[in-house]
Chain A
Amino acid sequence: MRSDLITIGVILKELNCFNLDSLSNRIILQKKVFLLQNLGVNLGYQYSWYVHGPYSTELTAMAYECIPLGEEQFTNYNIKENIKERIKKVNDLEKCEARKKVKLDNSAWYELLASYLYWKKQLGTQDKAVEMVQITKPQFSDTDIEAAIQALVDFER
């Protein structure tokens, strides 16, 4: 198998994202890979801002190529320890304390986390990032945004 397919297949499997069936699953896949790249795992995907927040066209193309091959194709690979830890951090975002304070489904939660982080990287400060999330994602309340910031403090540590 091609080496680029092996990399993305293993990553999607470990992120529990081996499913493209629904819009929610596709959003989670996009945002989890975005968050993982923000922890310094260089997978080479470029993200731009689209309707549901940061989005990578190339990742969609690769996922559509890789996922139909089946999860079992990507089981016998040893992932580096430091990568495993970062994958765990991304997965743990859905069960952290801050997450329990908001009533959002998983796709909305990951969309909010990734959107906030995207603006923080683009604009540099928390205040500006919050302002942009409020403008671009009016569906999220101030409580939702506060919870996301809290979750990301531990995440980025």
Chain B
Amino acid sequence: MNNNYYHIFNYKTINDSVYGNIGLSKIEVELLDTRAMQRLRRIRQMGFSSYVFPDGEHSRFAHSLGVLYIMGRFCDVLYRNNEISLEDVQLLRIAALLHDVGHYPFSHLCETVYSYIDAKNNSILENEPFRTISLLSDLSNHIKRKTVDHEHLGANVIIYDKQINDILKANNIDAELVGKIITGEIGVHNNSIVYAQLMHSSLDADRMDYLLRDSSQAGVVFGSVDFNYIINNIKKVKYQLNNDNNNQYEIIAINSKAQHAVEHFLMARYFHYSQTVLHKTSLAFEAVAKTLLYKMISEEKDEFYISFDNLVKSIGSDKFYHFTDDFMWTKLKAYAEKSEDKLVKILWRTLAERKKPIIILYEKDIVLKRKSKAEKQSINDPDFFLLKWILERHHKEISEKCGIDMEQIGFCTSTVNIESLPSFMKIEECNDLGEESLRDAIKLINKENKVSFLASDTTSLINKMVDYSAVSLVVFVVDPDQKIEKGKIKDVILSMIK
């Protein structure tokens, strides 16, 4: 690597608890000093996971620097091998640094709330359907709309924040393209899939940093993976799909000698998710926070934070730069104190006083993925699915039998996959199922330059696991006075299963 390259990206260095020194270019320093980036100091990375893992208090700001570092390392390898240009390196590093610039407060849970609000505001139905499950449960299990996620808000910040936009313009960097790399909207045309893979795939800079940083901060050991070896073995290769005789796609593949390091990374991520991110108590607290936030935001009329569209309009104003965890805490406190709604009071006390929701049931299983064609069927625990089915359809009946307000009972299901692909999906047989896989899935390249999906490589341990998902279901009750009889509710639910 030439001297010039080193100097450009080491204009300044910042100390980091995970990687030591992180080098920054002059443009990156300027971007880091903008109000929009400084806002991220006041948004915690792990949301309510810190109610279970108390040291998980680090910020989105530190994580953004970490993603820049990992992206920088990816770029160093690709640039050294003449696989990407200096302009590509600058663009990718900036996208990495800015990837969370539009993050909502309280980590990802606020994103669900804004998605839920967007769905309500754009309802296709004449009347709101009668809700058969509690708001806690509906919000806990709501699948987020991509179009209002933090990445789309971030793409808007990059275009409408004058400070950021001026810096990018002065350095001839296409703000819209940076936004598209962040949202992942660039698809597979114009060879831009390389950008997309480094920001959005099973092995991207974002996932790598949060695994290393969050597990280290949470005090769990899952994150100790050999990221240096993985990074040093990435390669850009051209690949032509069988059913698409027109285009050659440039894809990122890993030298097959690093296969075991990648497998270790996937396993580490799996354990990190199942044990830390999706911890049953964190999920219950997050459900409480989502419900309280939704109730507050949906009752507001004129505030800048009532919808995604209003937030976009506020970019560039003081209000937006104060849209942080602390701001939302203050708003929630004022709302809860003023509200006469019994549920609001319960939710607020649960959250503010950390009154742990009562876990009634916690079920786990390993199940066969719907899209897989695995010959060996898993022996699924029928009680898991029956429990889910009963909770979805008999929520009210359970609450009546237990004498508890339905809105105090919540359930949350979660799924963790090792890789998104099924084992039968071979890269040479990509059809519609394979489209997203081309970007998301981990590709290996062997000594003979043959490219394959890690998931369909029969010598890989991952190949034996990808057809299965780990699912879990937690049933909880919010009662800050802790007077509710856990055993009675459990008995009612279990009697319905029998």
Contact = CB atoms under 8 A, between A and B. Distances in A.
A57 B436 contact: yes
B261 interface: no
Contact of A78 (B125, B131, B241): B125
Contacts of B392: 1-2
Interface string B106-145: 0000000001101100111111010111000010011101
Contacts of B172: none
Contacts of B188: 48-51
A27 interface: yes
Contacts of B116: 3
Nearest to B120: A3
B246 interface: yes
A46 interface: yes
B146 interface: yes
B123 A7 contact: yes
Given A49-B189, A50-B435, A44 B147 contact: yes
A46 B436 CA distance: 13
B26 interface: no
B195 to A, nearest CB: 12
Interface residues of B, number: 47
Interface stretch (A61-69, A90-98, A144-152): A61-69
Nearest to A83: B124
A79 B127 CA distance: 8
B432 A26 contact: yes
B441 to A, nearest CB: 12
A157 interface: no
A112 B183 CA distance: 25
Contacts, number: 117
B125 A55 contact: no
Contacts of A43: 122, 124, 145
Contacts of A41: 122, 124
B459 interface: no
Contacts of B129: 3, 6, 77
Contacts of A153: none
A64 B422 CA distance: 14
B247 interface: yes
B487 to A, nearest CB: 28
B450 interface: no
B148 interface: yes
Contact of B115 (A44, A56, A68): A44
Contact of A136 (B119, B146, B243, B247): B247
A2 B119 CA distance: 12
Nearest to B142: A4
B498 interface: no
A35 interface: no
B392 to A, nearest CB: 6
A68 B370 contact: yes
Given A2-B141, A3-B142, A10-B124, A50 B436 contact: yes
Contacts of A52: 432, 435
A64 B370 contact: yes
Interface in A57-109: 57-58, 60-62, 64, 68, 77-80, 83
Contact of A80 (B124, B132, B145): B124
Contact of B133 (A2, A44, A83, A136): A2
A7 B185 CA distance: 24
Interface string A2-32: 1110110011000000000001001100100
B126 A79 contact: yes
Nearest to A50: B435
B316 interface: no
A134 B423 CA distance: 34
A34 B141 CA distance: 24
A42 interface: yes
6 contacts: A1-B133, A7-B124, A27-B432, A42-B122, A43-B124, A44-B122
Given A11-B124, A49-B189, 16 more contacts: A3-B142, A7-B124, A10-B125, A23-B431, A42-B122, A44-B119, A44-B146, A46-B147, A46-B183, A48-B186, A51-B430, A58-B145, A58-B146, A60-B436, A61-B143, A68-B370
